[in-house]
Structure 1
Amino acid sequence: MSTQSAAVPTSLGAAPAVPLKLPRKAPVFAGETHSQLVRRARKMHKVLTETYPDAHCELDFTTPLELLVATILSAQTTDVMVNKVTPTLFAKYPDAKAFAEADREEMEAILKPTGFFRAKTNSVMKLGQLLVDEYDGVVPDKLEELVKLPGTGRKTANVVLGNAFGVPGITVDTHFGRLVRRFGWTEETDPVKVEHLIGELFGKKDWTMLSHRLIFHGRRRCHAKKPACGACPIAQWCPSFGDGPTDPDLAAKLVKVPA
């Protein structure tokens, strides 16, 4: 396995005086016990908490129904794009009954910018009808009921539970799954297994915000193709340090700051 010697930053723009020799890829921490993994993961989360004090759900919503619909629409597109169309959507369709009775072509026209608009229109209309028929138009607050709704899997259900109902949940989206594997917290790729395994590393009260902080980090620094390793505040605990530029100046150029 090839190795490289590099100064691992302990904070943005800072580096320890003594360089550390770290492999480019895992397993740097392959021999750690479960308790050591828990301590390392929690240290990383503590620093991410300090780095992203404003981490939050980046979908705009005011009700559980709005969040549920927005999350369904976020598939294969960005939260920014969803937030552009939902003000018009929610103004025209303010409740489940309105979604159920919507004119399909009119809704498709609104949702077209999000991609896969026909399938999404179908899901939203079916969702509205089911909520009217079985839940008096109200979004349920139980995981086992949410996952039965059209267009709603565990990821979407946990988004709604954590952010609309205050029920702790881990949201395993593409960013979250990629980062926990890159961090060496798990090698699992199945979202349900990832959800349960990562849940064991943290207290339940931290689950929702853990999801937000990892998603923030994935969008801003720990990119899929070229992570900003030299500008990463948790690099000293990451077995994948070196997957991206380790030079602080080069890495800083990769950091994305949303408008």
Structure 2
Amino acid sequence: MVYRLPNYITHAKINKSIINYSWDDSDVDAGWDYSYSEKIATQIESVSLRAKICLMIGTYEWILGRFQGMEQDPIFMYIAEAAWCANINKFYLIPQYELDEHDYAERSNYLGPIAGVLWCSGYSSLMGDLYVSDNTIHVDDDSTTLYEEYDDYYLDSWREDLKFLITATLHILPTEKVSIFKQWLEGVVQRLVKFYTLPEQDPFANLFGNKDEKSWLGDYVAIEILNLKREYDPTEASQLLNQFLSQVNRNNPLLASEQALKTKFAIPYQLGELS
């Protein structure tokens, strides 16, 4: 099934053809005010990493919606679909070294006020957080992290990336649409805090890494939490995510091959324990 943006974004009609914001590929966030996004980041400090990444993907979808019909390269929609898969389990993604070999890893291929924004938001800001999102054993130990090249990952790396995504969205949206985005964002933050705040932990409990996946990532977060017109029940998250996985476009070039997935999952594209 072809991945589509949620209705609450398409119905907002934010894809105005007039591009009247500043953009400098050599200094992309020059003059941006990060105060609002810093406030949002502070509000979700206590929620799980999966919940934080959920908000990042949801914000990125607004950026996709801003340029719907203007950018023909499908890679940016592929990023969103793959990101949702990765927030379930990082192994759905192709390895980073494969990603870096593709043309879409090259910044110079994506310049200007549309492609440049999409690349900086999707590839640069979002993708890196996906690859480190399941280092569940010893986050800072080369011998036990699942991808050794990410041993320099900091526990709050999500923060700067989320702030960029939010501030970029505010920068590119038509002025009359900013309040719609903010209303959505603040409503989603309230939901994430309500349902996915982690219990307070002993600050010395995870000095050598998280003891299990739940303590590192938190519970599964279904995409539907982002739709404020729909009631959300976290106990239904697994069922909703299984529905999503059953419809994923398996030809997405950012997703691992069926053969590779079978080495990690008992049944690919179904929630379950790693094999």
TM-score higher than 0.5 here?
no
Q: Decide which structure has the larger Cα Rg and report it.
A: 1
Q: Could you tell me the TM-score, scaled by structure 1's length?
A: 0.25
